[in-house]
Amino acid sequence: MHPNVSSSESPPPPLELCYENMNGSCVKSPYSPGPRVLLYVVFGCGAVLAVFGNLLVMISILHFKQLHSPTNFLIASLACADFLVGVTVMPFSMVRSVESCWYFGASFCTFHTCCDTAFCYSSLFHLCFISIDRYIAVTDPLVYPTKFTVSVSGMCISISWILPVVYSGALFYTGANDDGLEELARDLNCVGGCQAVVNQNWVVIDFLSFFIPTLVMIILYSHIFIVARKQAQKIETTSSKTESSSETYKARVAKRERKAAKTLGVTVVAFMISWLPYSIDSLVDAYMGFITPAYVYEICCWCAYYNSAVNPLIYALFYPWFRKAIQLIVSGQVLKDGSARRNLFSNQM
């Protein structure tokens, strides 16, 4: 080989920028066409499912009078939080993740980050209140209707919205999140960048805000399933004996509440699996100097986002009334007079 060949190698290709001819633009890291299309399809499907799936949940519960219950109002409000993730967060995060650039401006970046945080915590608070609701329903099914009323449900819904919105707005609009990390924030949020930097103090608060309600849910559902198992065994041992009508009714009510608790338990597990990687990564990253590669961060984010698309699938899988409601909505029968009073329960317990 000629000794000068190595020195005459072609220079590296010029860096691609998010905004050409603009000082301070972020460097763009584009995917090749194949993976790019695939990512748009995967992320786009998640956003569409989150929007339309949760819209169906909300319409079902609010339209059909048979579904007007304190628990279902909480589920409808949870679906609203997931719906808003699908509308205000996922489409814009999809473009950022695939194009590796933020094209929607600095002001909308702050708003997007606030929505992301607020709706995540709103979902978490809703699930926590739902677990308390299920705990009361399973452990004391006959007294439950007087304890967890529609007004109590409304109060829980208000807390689940007000606290997360105030918290996220105060955190990101005051700039408290990046106190002491201003230089890193400037580097990450070059023109065409949108990545929230949260200092160690707020990361710990964020993690505890996730961990404590999650721990409460784990404890409550563990107790729920222990009680449910005992109830089932008791019903089995007394099924051969002649029961009074009140005992039969009590058994039916207990069975219905256990079934609802099982479905909502699956929803809680799905939430924890989806959000745990992001929560752990955020905590570790803050103490390790923000060393997480961009693609790992994006994977953790999208695992969390996809939780908003998963809940309607869980309801469709476990709730026959939801499947029937979807049929009535899609076929347009909800537009007919008296459709709100349709019976969605084929087997009344």
Confidence of residue 2 (pLDDT cuts 50, 70, 90): very low
Q: What are phi and psi of 205, to 5 degrees?
A: -60, -45
pLDDT of 242 strictly over 60: no
- CATH number of the domain that 314 lies in? 1.20.1070.10
Give the total number of structural domains in the chain: 1
Which range has the worst mean pLDDT, 88-97, 188-197, 313-322?
188-197
Q: What percent of the chain has pLDDT over 70?
A: 87
Q: Is residue 324 part of a domain?
A: yes
Q: Is residue 4 part of a domain?
A: no
Q: Is residue 14 part of a domain?
A: no
pLDDT of 155: 97
Q: What spatial distance separates the first Cα and last Cα of the chain, rounded to whole Å?
A: 85
- Using CA atoms, how far residue 293 sits from 66, 163, 213, 243, 303, in Å, is 49, 32, 29, 63, 16
- Using CA atoms, how far residue 54 sits from 78, 187, 339, in Å, is 9, 37, 20
pLDDT of 140 strictly over 80: yes
For residues 137 and 69, is the Cβ–Cβ distance under 8 A?
A: no
Rounded CA-CA distance 214/121 in Å is 11
Q: Is residue 341 part of a domain?
A: no
CA 336 to chain centre: 33
What pLDDT, in 10s, does the model give residues 162-185? 999 999 999 888 878 777 777 777
Q: Is residue 56 part of a domain?
A: yes
Q: Is residue 3 part of a domain?
A: no
pLDDT of 257: 66
Rounded CA Rg of the chain: 25
Q: Which amino acid is at 19?
A: Y
For residues 161 and 284, is the Cβ–Cβ distance under 8 A?
A: no
Q: Is residue 256 part of a domain?
A: yes
pLDDT of 7: 47
Confidence of residue 1 (pLDDT cuts 50, 70, 90): very low
Residue 164, domain extent:
35-236+246-336
pLDDT of 161: 97
Going by C-alpha positions, the residue among 29, 32, 53 that lies closest to residue 297 is 29
**E strand or H helix that includes residue 170:** helix 150-173
What pLDDT, in 10s, does the model give residues 326-348? 999 999 888 888 888 888 886 54
- 301-317: string of b/e by CB count within 10 Å (b at 16+)? bbbbbbbbbbbbebbbe
Q: Is residue 25 part of a domain?
A: no
What pLDDT, in 10s, does the model give residues 89-128? 999 999 999 998 899 988 999 999 999 999 989 998 999 9
